Amino acid sequence: MGGSKVAATDVVAGSTIVLIVLLGPPGAGKGTQAARLSAKYGIPQISTGDMLRAAVAATTPLGERVKGIMEAGELVPDDVMLEVVEDRLSQPDCASGAILDGYPRTAGQAETLDPLVWRIGQGRSSLVLVLDVPEEEVIRRISGRLEEAGEAGKRDDDEDHVVLERLRVYRELTEPLVEFYRDKGVMTEIVGVGTVDEIFDRMDATVREHLQG
Ligand code: AMP
């Protein structure tokens, strides 16, 4: 094995199975960084937002159920999400672990995550990385995404008023999870400002430390 690339087998050898949870406000860069961690460590990225958008696009029963909720910037109920995530984590490609991007997002989801991974696997070591980005920066980034994408490419929930609602929901329901995980001693805050590479290097250093520790 050359360079600094770490193979999935190292992940497994280092600490049984790894579940990496990315927390952070909308627009913090979770999706971008999750994709890079996934490529480097050979474990899948599970983006609940992408899964739900795919369900909406395919007009599945799940998609029909969540469409309006997503368009309004609200959260899909915990019981629906639990089913979606349990189903996804049970797939064979998650046998060595996964990177959760956008889950959990409520106290209820966080509380059922541990029992869920125990049920599916053999007990996993989990690591929570919080991407810390000031709110002004988040709004600037999401507005940029809106302009760059143009009408055809923009996400339905990137409209200004929906962005503000998603930020409000984050502050009210998701941000408290930072304390929840801090108390459990499995959380590391990552400065989420800088270039994509700089932020990735910070996250990667934490993952390596965790795997070696
Ligand atoms: P995201 O792409 O992660 O920003 O998610 C887009 C939208 O999908 C959110 O605004 C929610 O409506 C829904 N969603 C994604 N993940 C969750 C979750 N863990 N719990 C509830 N709703 C979610």
Tokens 């996250």 correspond to what residue?
203
Residue-wise pLDDT for 176-204, tens only, equals 999 999 998 889 999 999 999 999 999 99
Residue-wise pLDDT for 23-59, tens only, equals 999 989 999 999 999 999 999 999 999 999 999 999 9
Enumerate domains of the chain plus CATH numbers. Answer: 8-204 (3.40.50.300)
76 lines ligand 1 (CB under 6 A): yes
Annotated catalytic, 53?
Answer: no
For residue 148, pLDDT over 90 is answered with no
C-alpha distances out from residue 77 to 90, 107, 158, 182, Å: 20, 12, 21, 24
Q: Which of 30, 40, 53, 202 is catalytic?
A: 30
What is the distance between the alpha carbons of residues 173 and 189, in angstroms, rounded to a whole number? 18
Per-residue buried b or exposed e for 29-68, using 16+ beta carbons within 10 Å of the residue's own CB: bbbebbebbbebbbbbbbbbbebbbebbeeeeebbeebbe
Cα 196 to chain centroid distance, Å, stands at 16
Residue-wise pLDDT for 76-98, tens only, equals 999 999 999 999 999 999 988 89
- Could you tell me the distance, in angstroms and rounded to a whole number, from the CA of residue 63 to the centre of ligand 1? 12
Q: Could you say which DSSP state residue 12 is in?
A: H
- Could you tell me the distance, in angstroms and rounded to a whole number, from the CA of residue 167 to the centre of ligand 1? 12
pLDDT-derived band at 121, boundaries 50, 70, 90: low
Whether 109 contacts 81, CB under 8 Å: yes
